[in-house]
């Protein structure tokens, strides 16, 4: 893909993925860290600055911001937790829905594919909830 001669950010975004990867590798607990995915969308030079778009993320409406990604066998949900919750955040994992509960807020995330509750789990660490859901195998009839 050629650089846009009118796009001053092209050179910066070319190496952004590598920069983020290096930052994550140098963080504490880096052996368990991984970059699941993100997209950078640049606008035309006359329409303003570039923006970062996270698929599945909610608008800033006071809710719990999250991102959901899916593979053939698993669903990954990452949610940002409030800085000072009164109670420990938790996830209620059902076969077709996940509910994230933080104090008086509840976020229900419907799932497109049934998941195995027994082999699904969540973890809250440093203000981020990571949920890993194991998909139920597809039964061919």
| 13 backbone dihedrals φ, ψ, rounded to 5° | -75, -20
Report DSSP letters for 11-31, one per residue: HHHHTHHHHHHHHHHTSTTGG
Helix, coil or strand: residue 39: strand
End-to-end CA distance of the chain: 44
Please report, for the chain, the start and end positions of each structural domain, with discontinuous segments joined by +: 10-52, 63-135
* Second CATH level (architecture) for the domain 63-135: Sandwich (2.60)
Q: Can you give the pLDDT of all 141 residues of the chain as single tens digits? A: 455 556 666 666 667 767 777 777 777 665 555 555 555 544 444 555 544 444 444 444 558 899 999 888 999 999 999 888 899 999 999 999 999 999 989 999 999 999 999 999 999 988 899 999 999 987 776
Integer Rg of the chain from CA: 18
* 90 neighbors 101 (Cβ within 8 angstroms): yes
């Amino acid at each position: 893909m050629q650089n846009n001669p009118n796009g001053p950010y092209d050179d910066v975004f070319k190496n952004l993925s590598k920069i983020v990867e290096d930052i994550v590798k140098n963080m504490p607990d880096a052996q368990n860290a991984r970059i699941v995915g993100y997209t950078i969308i640049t606008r035309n030079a006359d329409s303003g600055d570039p923006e970062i778009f996270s698929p599945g993320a909610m608008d800033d409406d006071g809710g719990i911001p999250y991102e959901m990604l899916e593979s053939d066998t698993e669903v990954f949900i990452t949610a940002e937790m409030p800085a000072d919750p009164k109670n420990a955040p938790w996830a209620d994992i059902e076969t077709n829905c996940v509910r994230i509960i933080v104090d008086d807020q509840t976020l229900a995330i419907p799932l497109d594919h049934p998941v195995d509750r027994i082999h699904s789990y969540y973890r809250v660490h440093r203000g981020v909830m990571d949920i890993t859901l194991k998909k139920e195998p597809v039964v061919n009839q």
